[in-house]
Amino acid sequence: MSQYVSRLGQRRGRNAQQPRQHLLRLPGQRRPRRVAMFSVHTSPLHQPGTGDAGGMNVYIVELARQLAAQGTEVEIFTRATTGTLAPTVELAPGVLVRHIDAGPYEGLSKEELPAQLCAFTHGVMQVWAGHKPGYYDLVHSHYWLSGHVGWLASERWGVPLVHAMHTMAKVKNAALAQGDAPEPAARVIGETQIVRAADRLIANTSEEAAELERHYEAPTGRTAVVHPGVNLDRFCPADGRAAARARLGLPQDAMIPLFAGRIQPLKAPDVLLRAVALMVDEEPELRSRLVVPVVGGPSGSGLAKPEGLQKLAAKLGIADLVLFRPPVDQEQLADWYRAASVLVMPSYSESFGLVAAEAQACGTPVVAAAVGGLPVVVRDGASGYLVAGHEPAEYARALRRFAADAGLAPRLGGIAAQHAQSFGWGAAAEATADVYTAAIQERRRRLRSPHG
């Protein structure tokens, strides 16, 4: 199934953030000098947790930084969403963000972006035309919209296409949340075309690789499994739960189940609220101890009812327990993780679950749905608990364990912090660079072959 597997589990601690000095490569193999990354619908400069910005933004930023630190320059092409943006922005040494004009700056939903792909591709080609031949060694596209631009660029430039799906329409449609709209047929067709066209596909987990084969008939051996990483310098236990609660103005003795992420049916924050309502109905004394932060903004289909979660909290009679907070930067997000007793992630679909990995790196256990990559990220019964399905009663049952045993969160949190050490971006970048190298070498072999 998967020809390349990341070596994340073999590298521990902060050293996982550092580039490995001695890479095992065959003679003649080399890393690409410069990669063109495409992220059409969301910019790496956007605040995660707002609009369509989320884990993919973090993924692209951290991967690009680490690739550049290891010797591969990265240029990220994204759609300009305001006229005040500079055409190019240096995100980090060796990482350049290029803003491409494609359609009106504001007011376009993700569903309307396919109509702008021609304009975006034209802008990409204008940039490319200003360089010497061979300027980009490889294209790495993220999400299906970018995949179509990447496909054309790959053919035009004569370089390999590496594609990361991040989410898949067929997988999402098979596990829709109540009230969520199915992904359109155009996306399914588009994803199928990209899977056939890509030289390599990158999957977050072995399960995602299997889904690519099962749902999209991805050719065996073309999918590489590379676990995403965590910035272990930013997301760490630091000075502990008490200090984080003091900084955020939270009570020291509270039981705090945290939701962090985009507020949309797919992420199922309503499941947490319904679970908390069950808990206080059955044990009214818990009301004085519970604080339930929801950190994030409406996104996707959640934009149709931006105040829907607040109204649900009021309807359930727990509005006094729930703290709604807007999306925050990564430094403050780490404090929210540290302050929480437990992170709750009841998603209907997650290709990996970076939020769960980040929380664990901060020493916070996780209660999560047993979907997608979450069983890889969360060690069930050790760094947290996995829940089958999305019944609020099951989540209430898991959360009562933390309410009943004040020592449970610190015990599981210690294991969680250790477990998260295996997810370093440095190792993820090395594994990704290996995928790049293999794709380049294979394309060269095909060109040399008389039957290629």
pLDDT digit string, tens, across residues 265-321: 999 999 999 999 999 999 999 999 999 999 998 866 555 566 899 999 999 999 999
441 sits in which H/E element: helix 425-448
For 77-97, give one letter per residue: b (16+ CB within 10 A) or e.
Answer: bbbbbeeebeeebebeebbbb
Query: Mean pLDDT for the chain?
Result: 89
Q: What angle do CA 347, 426, 99 make, to 5 degrees?
A: 70
Which tens digits make up the pLDDT trace of 369-418?
Answer: 999 899 999 999 999 999 999 999 999 999 999 999 999 999 999 999 99
Q: Which residues are annotated as a binding site for 1D-myo-inositol 3-phosphate?
A: 41, 52-57, 110, 143, 167, 187
Stated as kind and residue range, the H or E segment containing 56 is: helix 55-69
CA-to-CA distance for 42 and 148, rounded, in angstroms? 15
Strand segments (E) across 317-450? 322-325, 342-345, 366-369, 384-387
Band of residue 11 on the pLDDT scale cut at 50, 70, 90: very low
> CA 135, 138, 143, 144: dihedral to nearest 10 degrees?
90
Predicted confidence at residue 234, as pLDDT, reads 94
Which domains are assigned to the chain? 2-230+424-448 (3.40.50.2000), 241-420 (3.40.50.2000)
Residue 48: which residues within 8 A CB-CB, separation 6 or more?
Answer: 54, 55, 57, 58, 327, 330
Whether residue 21 is predicted with pLDDT greater than 80 in this model: the reply is no
- Percent of the chain beyond pLDDT 90? 74
Q: What CA–CA distance (Å, rounded) separates 58 from 372?
A: 18
- What's the start-to-end Cα distance of the chain, in Å? 23
At 227-239, the pLDDT tens digits run 999 999 999 999 9
Structure tokens at 445: 């072999």
CB neighbours of 44 closer than 8 A, spacing ≥ 6? Answer: 57, 60, 61, 64, 76, 78, 91, 97
38 forms bridges with which residues in the sheet? 77, 141
Check whether 9 has a pLDDT greater than 60: no
Distance CA(199)–CA(196), nearest Å, equals 8
Annotated binding-site ranges for UDP-N-acetyl-alpha-D-glucosamine: 47-48, 55, 262, 267, 328, 350, 358
- pLDDT confidence bin for 18, thresholds 50/70/90: very low
Tell me what the mean pLDDT of segment 16-43 comes to.
66
10 vs 107 pLDDT, higher one: 107
Q: Say how far apart CA 427 and CA 21 lie, in whole Å.
A: 12
For the segment 346-372, what is each residue's pLDDT rounded down to a tens digit?
999 898 889 999 999 999 999 999 998
Write out pLDDT tens, residues 158-214: 999 999 999 999 999 998 888 788 999 999 999 999 999 999 999 999 999 999 999
DSSP assignments along 158-176, one per residue: T--EEEE-SS-HHHHHTTP
**For residue 214, which amino acid is it?**
R
- Best CA proximity match to 63, nearest among 122, 13, 117, 17: 17
Look at residue 175 in the predicted model and tell me its pLDDT: 85
Q: Binding site, residues?
A: 41, 47-48, 52-57, 110, 143, 167, 187, 262, 267, 328, 337-338, 340, 350, 358, 364
Beta bridge partners of 384: 366, 380
